[in-house]
Structure 1
Amino acid sequence: MRIVPLLIAIIVSFALYFFVFQRDTLGEMSGSTQPSVETTDATQEQADVNAMAPPANRDVTDKPVVKVVAEHSVAEVLDSAVILRGETQAARSVNVSAETSGRVVSAPLRKGSYVEEGQVMCQLDVGVRASSLAQAKAAVAEAEVGLSNAQKLAKGGYAAETNILTAEAGLERARAALAQTEQDIANLTIEAPFAGLLESDTAELGTLMQAGSICANVIQLDPMKLVAFAPEAEVDRIEVGTLASARLLTGTQITGRVTFLSRSADPTTRTFRVEIEVPNSDFAIRDGQTVEMAIRSEGKSAHLVKQSSLTLNDEGLLGVRIVDDAQMVAFVPIQVLRDTREGVWVAGLPERADIITVGQEYVRAGVPVEPHFEEIN
């Protein structure tokens, strides 16, 4: 009966041998059939992290189909406009001044009055100019007689040719003096150079005026000029003759055309002067009002999208996410052209695009989606 303890001793010896000397071989044999605890824990941890991450940040190798809401969008031609802010200016504004001295003998015209071209605004007293005119006319007559006598004497051989030249010179001096006197008398009547409104009273009756004294200020308000300054980035989009619309702070809407575009920039602001001419027959537009102008330029192909559809990519670029032909998400950078109550007009999208409107923040480029399209009213 001693054989049983002997067999047990042999088995224990073999077990100790393999445990001590062949432990690596046993580990390899065990690993081929069951994963290690560390490997299992790491795999489970990665799966848990991937499951907790937002869909846009999950591993791209795991691509579940995401349901999103999208809408069909077709590009339209949007009338692009250059928006400028400026002011109204009278087409003409002149301080009408006296060209000679004299006392005002006409009743004054009050500011706000409308004057026609050539209408008398200030009449100065003739004074002694009437006598000067008569004297100048007599001098001309005398010089004419003197020239005639010199010509007769020279023809008969009783006078030299130089006498004729002297007489001719005297006649020209007399005529010049007469013309100067007549012009001086004409300058006593100060007339409106053009039709317009008086911005000041004309000179008061009895006022002594000198050459250069102002009789009145006249402005022409029809047509009216709208003046603004365009920045360098916008000036190439403006052309002379282009239709433009404008809005005053009072809400009045007016239209006109660009009549002037400066070729030289302001040295301080680096902007270019733009002038627009608009009709103002009723004088409703005043000189110096603030005005916002929209100058029409070449249209652009654009899409009207909801503001909530706009998003940023990882690089911080503004754009929208769309569904491509393969039912995958694609990010398209856009350029905002105009903001309206209905949405935002943007450029940069293809002619036809399926824009994701709900769920765009939970997907990223390359993720497969199942779009449900909105009905556009």
Structure 2
Amino acid sequence: MAMPRFHTVAAFVVLGVSAAWVLTGEFSSIGSAAQDTTSDEPKVEQAAASTEKMLRTVAVIEPAFIQHHRIIRISGVTAPDKRTTLATRSAGILGELKVKKGDTVQAGDVVLVLDGAEKQAMVDTARALLDQRKKEADNIERLVKNGISPSTQSDVARSALASARSQLEAAQADIDRLTVVAPFGGIIDQVMVEEGSWLPSGEAAAVLLQLDPVVALGEVSEREIAHVTVGSSADVRLISGDVVSGTVRHISLEATSGTRTFPIEVAIDNPENTIPSGMTAEIMIRSEAVTAVKLPRSVVTLDAAGNLGLRILKADNTVGFVPIDLIDDSPSGLILSGVPQDAKIIVAGQDLVSEGETVNAVPADATLVTGATVKSTEQSQ
């Protein structure tokens, strides 16, 4: 029998080894298995770095708190402290007009006098009758005392005396009504009559104004009425640009039905009568001081419900929202209250993040917080 050739034997050996290798399945781990076991840690680090890059970066500040007076601004108009129309109290011819427009008068000064010669005669007659009745009453009293006349005569005499006295008082009242006097000191703003004209009773003769103090009238909304009290200081900017100081002297307890606003009065010293009545004015009332912060307008934002407020950084580096109250609007920024004392306010990127979102916070650059009051020691940290 012939021996098999060497290459035939070698072929069968290679075939057997290959079949055994395929059946074990170990070929799938060659090269790749070693690489997978060594690449797990870099993949974890790469995922963490990717998450780190996903956090939004925002700039924050720690504001400095100040005491600031709330300024309530309302539109108003100036008005006299007192105003009255002087009118005749009796009919007659205007005999003497003692004032003209622009004159200053004091309380009790005579403004005009009506002619009344006949009424003066009635006063003289009543006075003479009173003297006569006095003498008659005295004589009757003596006769009654001496027992010559009955006591009833004394009663008749006293009654006649009282009647004469009443007639004199009535005649004197009639003549007093011929004179018109100023009820308070002020300026004669208008004169509507001329000497020699016939004036019926109740005819308007002159307008008297008292302009010291002058009063600024305005109306405060029902939202702000709680911040205004009698005695509060106020500045009044006139249409001329002048700013004068005053004091709230009256707050109405009843709102205007149409506007639901409360009328107020601000009294302003006006010794020289330089502030006229009827001038447009802006009333700025200072309320009690409140704790507030000063921030640029760009910091203020809205939450999902449309409320005005600020986005802040919480201790766990998540975003929060606090509603605020606008106290004042200055040229350099807004004055806001309602901010927590330990708040870190997001001043850049606040419109790109939402409540509850984790962020990467960095101190704000000085150019981002122009107009804000910032804690200088903590700003540098």
Question: What band does the TM-score fall into relative to the shorter chain?
Answer: 0.7 to 0.9
- Is the 2:55–2:358 Cα contact (8 Å) retained in structure 1? no
Cα RMSD (Å): 3.8
Alpha-carbon shift at residue 281 of structure 1 (Å)? 1.4
Paired position in structure 2 for 1:213: 203
Q: Which of 246, 262, 269 matches 1:272?
A: 262
Paired position in structure 2 for 1:343: 333
Structure 2, unmatched stretches of 5+, are: 24-28, 34-46, 371-381
Q: Which of 227, 241, 250 matches 1:260?
A: 250
* Pairing 1:89–2:76 present: no
Alpha-carbon shift at residue 148 of structure 1 (Å)? 2.1
**Distance 1:237-1:358 versus aligned 2 partners, 3 A rule:** closer
Paired position in structure 1 for 2:126: 136
Q: Quick one: distance in 1 between partners of 2:292 and 2:258?
A: 36
- Is the 2:216–2:265 Cα contact (8 Å) retained in structure 1? yes
Q: Quick one: distance in 1 between partners of 2:98 and 2:192?
A: 5
Look up the equivalent residue of 1:334 and give its one-letter code: P
Tell me which stretches of 4 or more aligned residues in structure 1 moved more than 6 Å: 1-5
- Is the 2:95–2:113 Cα contact (8 Å) retained in structure 1? yes
Q: Quick one: distance in 2 between partners of 1:144 and 1:329?
A: 103
Alpha-carbon shift at residue 180 of structure 1 (Å)? 1.7
Normalised by the length of structure 2, the TM-score is 0.77
Paired position in structure 1 for 2:363: 371
- Is the 1:321–1:329 Cα contact (8 Å) retained in structure 2? no
- Is the 2:319–2:353 Cα contact (8 Å) retained in structure 1? no
* Pairing 1:231–2:221 present: yes
Alpha-carbon shift at residue 208 of structure 1 (Å)? 1.6
* Pairing 1:334–2:326 present: no
Normalised by the length of structure 1, the TM-score is 0.77
Task: Summarize the alignment of residues 1-377 of structure 1 with structure 2, pairs less than 5 Å apart.
Answer: 64=54, 66-107=56-97, 109-201=99-191, 203-325=193-315, 328-335=317-324, 336-364=326-354, 365-371=357-363, 373-374=365-366
SS of the aligned residue for 2:190 comes to coil
**Distance 1:314-1:265 versus aligned 2 partners, 3 A rule:** closer
Q: Quick one: distance in 2 between partners of 1:118 and 1:229?
A: 35
- Is the 2:58–2:360 Cα contact (8 Å) retained in structure 1? no
Look up the equivalent residue of 2:273 and give its one-letter code: F
**Distance 1:136-1:312 versus aligned 2 partners, 3 A rule:** closer
Q: Quick one: distance in 2 between partners of 1:369 and 1:265?
A: 49
SS of the aligned residue for 2:126 comes to helix
Q: Quick one: distance in 1 between partners of 2:180 and 2:192?
A: 10
SS of the aligned residue for 1:299 comes to strand
SS of the aligned residue for 2:248 comes to strand
How many residues get paired? 343
Structure 1, unmatched stretches of 5+, are: 19-28, 34-46, 52-60
Q: Quick one: distance in 2 between partners of 1:241 and 1:348?
A: 26
**Distance 1:265-1:202 versus aligned 2 partners, 3 A rule:** same
**Distance 1:316-1:262 versus aligned 2 partners, 3 A rule:** closer
Look up the equivalent residue of 1:271 and give its one-letter code: T
Percent identical residues: 27
